[in-house]
Amino acid sequence: MIEFQSVRKQYDNGTVAVHELSLVVETGTITVFVGPSGCGKTTLMRMVNRMIDPSSGTVRVNGSDVRDSDPAQLRRGIGYVIQQAGLFPHRTVLDNVATVPLLFGRSRREARARASELLELVGLQQELGKRYPAQLSGGQQQRVGVARALAADPPVLLMDEPFSAVDPVVREGLQDELLRLQAELDKTVLFVTHDIDEAIKLGEKVAVLREGGHLAQYAAPDDLLAE
């Protein structure tokens, strides 16, 4: 599980992005963080993989304070997917994904085989692997981003507005795909969105955040109070 305990983040310029937040994300669930732009969602995600540290309070992954872990080691266990898939433009789609197993010491052939499996897992046709990212649609690029995040087989996935830049029909397909993948893979997914409908569709638990990084509600979708 992932535990935020009295977590507060104030940036150097004085902005309070997260205000004393405590909650527990259960292992093997999709937990959605929803709220307007600027309410601290991205800041929370970045505290899980130690791109930033809290000003006070503690973030624990499986019982260990993330500050006691080596960031590189920690990030092997945490996949990260963002709005712009962030693919390497000069590498093929297949090689974008194969980079990760290669980094972890697999041979080039093994890495490509693994990448090929992952493309299939996220619903991409094999021939797309030969293309370059710019030759894919936005939705396809996001699928590649998910495949790459899964390449190290991390138990935890951080997904920060992963589907926000694609059109509504494609977004629905990607949401369905994530639910199907989750049923198969059983990851602990922290999913950020500003769209309450997306939160309700995907979340087993939903954390509703407000301006100034306040946690307003944390509940299963059926138990959320109308605001």
> Which residues contribute to the site for ligand ADP (CB under 6 A)?
11, 13, 15, 17, 35, 37-43, 83
- Strands 188-193 and 16-25, bridge-based pairing: unpaired
With tokens 């991205």, the residue in question is 42
CB of 183 to ligand ADP, least distance (A): 27
CB of 162 to ligand ADP, least distance (A): 11
Which tokens belong to 53? Answer: 């540290």
- Pick the closer one to ligand ADP by CB: 113 or 165: 165
List all residues 6 or more positions away from 105 whose beta carbon is below 8 Å from its beta carbon.
Answer: none
Of the chain, the end-to-end C-alpha distance in Å amounts to 28
- Pick the closer one to ligand ADP by CB: 13 or 125: 13
- Pick the closer one to ligand ADP by CB: 41 or 114: 41
Distance between CA atoms of residues 175 and 155, nearest Å: 19
Distance between CA atoms of residues 222 and 114, nearest Å: 38
With tokens 């890495």, the residue in question is 111
CB of 125 to ligand ADP, least distance (A): 29
Which tokens belong to 131? Answer: 């293309």
CB of 209 to ligand ADP, least distance (A): 7
Burial of 159 (0-12, 13-18, 19+ CB in 10 A): buried
Using alpha carbons, select from 126, 123, 153, 154 the residue that is nearest to residue 140.
123
- Pick the closer one to ligand ADP by CB: 15 or 22: 15
CB of 12 to ligand ADP, least distance (A): 7
- Cβ atoms of residues 163 and 142 within 8 Å: yes
Distance between CA atoms of residues 195 and 66, nearest Å: 29
Distance of CA 188 to the CA centre of its chain: 10
CB of 53 to ligand ADP, least distance (A): 12
CB of 48 to ligand ADP, least distance (A): 12
- Pick the closer one to ligand ADP by CB: 37 or 73: 37
- Pick the closer one to ligand ADP by CB: 15 or 62: 15
- Pick the closer one to ligand ADP by CB: 15 or 126: 15
